């Protein structure tokens, strides 16, 4: 199926091979989180994304090579990342492998507290710090680029009844495309849907997803993630050729 996106370009909507990575600590150590995600955030995402027809596998921190061997990454079109407590436990080797695959064209979707993950900070080149407040109040997410494929089927905005607040300044490079912004009752706003390109790979940061709230059961959140999978996993153009080269004939 060929999709036409807002800037006039089109891409084939293929069956994406998706790896959902979750550190899987909160759900095993915090009864409040376990009550919301008894099988883990990664399992909830698999269940919620099943209707979209992706080929999905999960990976967690405690697996050999942290679930992210070269073989796994080579078989992954899109990597979805959720982490919070164990950013410093991700090895240099894993970060190097993921970065290399992104530069080669693998899509990366970073969720919520993954903003502080080693791979996201590596790719952004900044601290990726922000303000936060865990008060569980309402979040309203506004679509600010209705032409973007990631916003397909969302409408002008949607709301989450309970979420953690993230506020500006968000120390990331200016997004190449800003897709969503959030508003919170404390008056804060936040760049909640940010697109970047690194090498041949597309990256999408999506803000919602605090572990204590049932965010990953929300149909709009799942739709954004599904749209993002199709988008960041789509064809990325022609691979460049580097090194010494002969002059072309005039």
Return the residue matching tokens 């999709």. 3
Fold adopted by 2-126+193-232: Rossmann fold (3.40.50)
b/e per residue 29-68 (b: at least 16 CB within 10 A)? eeeebeebbeebbbbbbbebbeebebebbbbbbeeeebbb
What's the token pair of residue 24? 């899987």
DSSP state of 64: G
What's the token pair of residue 118? 């080693």
Q: Which residues lie across from 21 on neighbouring strands?
A: 59, 81
Contact of 39 with 31, CB cutoff 8 Å: no
Name the more confident of 238 and 187. Answer: 187
**Minimum mean pLDDT among 111-115, 120-124, 175-179, 243-247: which range?**
243-247
Average pLDDT, integer, range 227-235: 95
Q: Is 4 helix (H, G, I), strand (E, B) or coil?
A: strand
Chain CA centroid to CA 174, Å: 17
Q: Which residues lie across from 109 on neighbouring strands?
A: 80, 204
Sign, CA dihedral 26-107-184-126, equals: positive
The whole-chain average pLDDT of the chain stands at 94
Q: What is the pTM (predicted TM-score) of this model?
A: 0.93
């Amino acid at each position: 199926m060929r999709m036409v996106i807002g800037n006039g370009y089109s891409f084939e909507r293929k069956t994406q091979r998706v790896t959902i990575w979750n550190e899987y600590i909160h759900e095993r150590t915090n009864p409040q989180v376990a009550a919301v995600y008894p099988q883990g955030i990664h399992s909830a995402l698999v269940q919620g994304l099943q209707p979209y027809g992706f080929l999905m596998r999960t990976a967690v921190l405690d697996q050999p090579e942290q679930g992210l061997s070269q073989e796994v990454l080579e078989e992954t079109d899109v990597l979805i990342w959720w982490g919070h407590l164990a950013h410093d436990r991700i090895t240099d080797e894993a970060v190097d492998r993921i970065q290399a695959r992104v530069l080669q064209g693998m899509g990366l979707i970073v969720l919520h507290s993954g903003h502080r993950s080693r791979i996201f900070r590596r790719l952004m080149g900044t601290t990726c710090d922000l303000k936060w407040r865990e008060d569980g109040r309402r979040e309203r997410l506004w679509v600010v680029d209705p032409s973007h494929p990631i916003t397909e089927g969302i409408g002008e905005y949607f709301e989450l009844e309970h979420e953690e607040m993230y506020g500006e300044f968000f120390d990331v490079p200016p997004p190449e495309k800003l897709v969503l912004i959030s508003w919170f009752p404390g008056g804060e706003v936040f760049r909640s849907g940010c697109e970047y390109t690194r090498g041949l790979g597309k990256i999408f940061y999506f803000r919602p997803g605090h572990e204590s709230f049932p965010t990953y059961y929300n149909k709009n959140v799942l739709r954004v993630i599904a749209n993002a999978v199709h988008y960041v996993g789509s064809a990325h153009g022609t691979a460049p050729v580097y090194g010494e080269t002969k002059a072309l004939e005039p």
